[in-house]
Every structure is written in structure tokens, then in C-alpha cells.
Chains A and B, each alone.
Chain A
Amino acid sequence: MIKVLIVDDEPLARIRLRRLLQKKPDVDIVGEARSGFEAVQMTDQCLPDIVLMDVRMPEMDGLDAARRIAKSVPPPAVIFCTAFEDFALRAFDAKAFAYLLKPIKAIELDEALQRAASATRAQLNG
């Protein structure tokens, strides 16, 4: 089972991610956060394996949140979901596994999840 945390300030964007994830039997959605700040809190509470992270959000943006989340032990894999390729995102050096472009495609989400999950497991085993 892969535990996933959804982070996005837009309700419709969260619904879309949830719909896509619900089709996958091995994925468990452990929580939904509406800002970077909530994401950091919920990572502590729900201990997700993977965080699907929006970039532009109020309170704390996705990049800041990812930097903080990267400090937890063991760090969950962060997959950015963004509407448009950001320079800030390209320059981002925290341990982001991938970034997905909105509207997110099911097949790309699958791939990213697989890679992140196997990397997390490898990390756990090693």
C-alpha cells in the first residue's frame, strides 16, 4: 500500500487527483492539505510515502513546504503538480521525484507514483 498526501489550494484540483488515485487499488489517500503549511503539518501526522504538491499556494508555497518536508526522517517523495513549467521549479534542488503538468494525465501520474514508490522502498530496504 502506498500512502499519498494531496496538497492543492483549489478544491477542483484536489477532486481530480482523488478521482485519479481512487482507481488505483494499491494507493491510499491519507489526507488532503490546502496550503504548504497544512502540508507540513499533515506530513507529520499522516506519514505519507508520497506527497503530490501544488506549487502556487497561499500561506506557504509548494517549494517551501517541500524543503521542510525533505527534512523529515524518512523523507516522503515529493511530486510537484503545476499548471506551467516554472523557472523556480526547474531550479529547485530538494528531493523532488518528478513534476507533473496540469491537467494531470493518468498515465504520467502512474509512472511517477511507480518510480517514487520503488525509490522509497529501495530506501527503506537499503
Chain B
Amino acid sequence: MSDSGANQTQIGDYFIPDLCRGQGLLGIFVIGVLSALLMALLHNGIGDFDFLWLGKITLLIFWIALLSVIFLCRAQPYLLHLTLPRIALINYLLVLLAAALCAVTAEYWNNYSRTGVWRADPFSILNIVLITAIPAGVLLRLYYFQQLLHQQQKAGLEARLVALQAAIRPHFLFNSMNSLATLIRIDADKAEKTIENLCDLFRYALKGSASVTLQEEVDACQGYLEIEKLRLDERLEYSWDIKVELSNISVPPLILQPLIENAVFHGVQPAIQGGSIYITIYSSGDWLCIDLVNSLPETTNHTAARSEMTSGHQLALDNLRCRLDVYFNGRAKLQETVFKNHYHTRILFKPLEG
């Protein structure tokens, strides 16, 4: 499902349900009939119910619905690369356009059939457009929030999946087991500690909660780095510089671990002389800042090393950006840069109150 970036909307992620066929289309027409009934009841009441008026209004609503659906379905392929709010706005305008077109046609036709003159009352047209605008707005807003919730759940699920795959990424698991097979004989204490770390990491990755403390996240990362340190030995250098209290800051799980794993995989492991990872956590004004800096392998081709780091990073970054955005209500940033053969990733967010 997600072999392209997480930021790109896909057909399945498109914010309105599939109206172009089957159930979606049927649903729209059922809503249309019910709205027509509602309007007819408000117009004449049940006492002298006007079936002719119901017929006319149903016809108008059907035309507006049909035209809207055609517009929305035609527009869909061109809107996929836009952000959710823009898609919502354009769709709304398309529905209003459909309403206006139908209203103009209906007005002209209505007046012509009654008086034989081609003319339209602008207020009647405006009236129809406004009457369409309200339920269409309500419906689109409903879809919008439904989609937001869906995206949020999906990002969370994906992150868990990514983390799980990372923790049990075959190479990582079997290499760790290979290290253990050696350690059991030569350093039983280290072997024991490694098994504990592996268990903690798996437990953390499998945990279903949507929120953890930053302390828990940092603990998981430290466990992960200890396992990798066993394997890479003096080739992996890392340091933590934590300047704030972490246990009262809540974050979505696995915001740092995937980044550190990428730093090990693309930055340290491919270099024969090894590499280093520096993690700094501090606050700056209202913002909390997590800086992750890792060296890049010294190859004859720097751009290649960088692009490998970047492309390896991209999926994790897209996913993380989406999750941070949802969790911190837009008050979070994810930045990255390359300088002097180092890769720098920064997570910035305003901690939630309480």
C-alpha cells in the first residue's frame, strides 16, 4: 500500500469515500431523496403534501448530486498530490459550481415553461446555491474529520509495523543472535544484558499505546544502541546529552528509534573506520528540541553516501512527520540537513500541557 511516500495521498486515502460507484453513489442518492422529502415537508406540511413539488425538488437535487459526483470523480486524479485542506476546499467549490449550474438551468427552464421568456431570477439561483452549500458543507466536513482520524490511525499502525520490522529486521535479529552465540561463552554477563535489551526493545515496539514519555523512548533507544555497540564494537561511538527532564514529556512512541537505526545502518555500518552518533535533547523557549547528528561514511563518492542516507531515511521521516503533526496538533517540525560529512536530523515540538 505504501511504497510511495506517506505524504502523498493515495486513492484509498482520498478524503471522500469512493462516490464514483456502487455504495457511495447509492448513498448520495438516498441522502438526496431524504433531503427532498425534508424540504417538501417543510414547504407544505403533511396536511396538503405537494407531490408535484416533491418531484421537482427531487429532480433538482438529483441533478446537483449527479453533477457534483461527476465533478468530484473527474477532479480526483488531479487533486491527489495536494494537501487535505486544499482537496476539501476545491471539492466544496466544485459542489457549489455544480449547484450553480443546475440552478441556472432550472431557473431558465422553469420561467420559460411558465411564461415563455428566457430569464432567471438571480435570487432564486443564489437561494438554491445557498441551500446546497449548507448540507454539502456539513457532509464534506464530516468526511474531512473521518479522513483525518483514518490518517492518524494509519500512521500509528504503520509506525508500529515499521518499528516491528526494524526490531525483527532479519539482519538485526540474526546478527544479534550471532553475537549472543559468541557472548554466551566469553562474556555471560554481557550476553544476559543483551537478552534483556532485546526483550525490552521488542516489548516496546509491540506496545500498542499511542503515547509514551520521552524517557521511555530514550530508554528504548539506549537499549538498541547497546545491542548495536556489541556488534560494531569500537566502530560505533555514540553520546547522549540530555539537558531536560524527560519523564514528564509525552510523545508518540518510536519517534527517535527509527532515526537512530537509520543512522547506524546508513551512517556507521558502511564505514570501515566506523562512525559516531550524537543525540542532544534540550529546550529552546517553548520548544523541545531533539538533535540527532551522525557521521556519513567516507567514500570516494560523497553524494552517493548522502543520497543513500537520505533515501533510506525518507520513509521513516515521512511517517514521523505525519505522526508528529497529528500528535502535536501541527506544533511540531522535522528538519534535516547535511554538513561537513555529517547528517543532522532535528525534531522540534511544543510539549503538550499537563
User: Which residues of A does B touch, CB under 8 Å?
Assistant: 9-13, 15-16, 19, 34-35, 37, 56, 58-59, 83-84, 101-104
Contacts and interface: CB of A to CB of B under 8 A. Distances in A.
A41 to B, nearest CB: 13
Contacts of A101: 174
B112 to A, nearest CB: 71
Given A34-B272, A58-B271, A59-B272, A19 B182 contact: yes
A58 B299 CA distance: 10
A108 B40 CA distance: 83
Contacts of A84: 170-171, 174
Contact of A12 (B170, B183, B270, B297): B183
B232 interface: yes
Interface residues of B, number: 24
B178 A83 contact: yes
Contacts of B192: none
A11 B233 contact: yes
B271 A19 contact: no
Nearest to A34: B272
Nearest to B297: A58
A15 B171 CA distance: 19
B181 interface: yes
A56 B178 CA distance: 14
Nearest to B234: A11
A59 B248 CA distance: 44
Contacts of A12: 178-179, 182-183, 230-231, 233
B177 interface: yes
B354 to A, nearest CB: 45
Given A56-B171, A58-B297, A15 B178 contact: no
A102 B174 contact: yes
Given A13-B178, A102-B178, 14 more contacts: A9-B235, A9-B272, A12-B178, A12-B179, A12-B182, A13-B231, A37-B272, A56-B171, A58-B270, A58-B272, A83-B170, A102-B174, A103-B177, A103-B180
A83 B175 contact: yes
B21 interface: no
A84 B271 CA distance: 21
A12 to B, nearest CB: 4
Nearest to A59: B272
A113 B177 CA distance: 23
Nearest to A105: B181
A103 B174 contact: yes
B42 interface: no
Contact of B182 (A13, A34, A59): A13
Nearest to B174: A83
Nearest to A14: B182
B186 interface: yes
Contacts of B297: 58
Of A15, A56, A83, chain B has the most CB atoms within 10 Å of the CB of: A83
B232 to A, nearest CB: 7
B243 interface: no
Of A56, A59, A101, A103, chain B has the most CB atoms within 10 Å of the CB of: A103
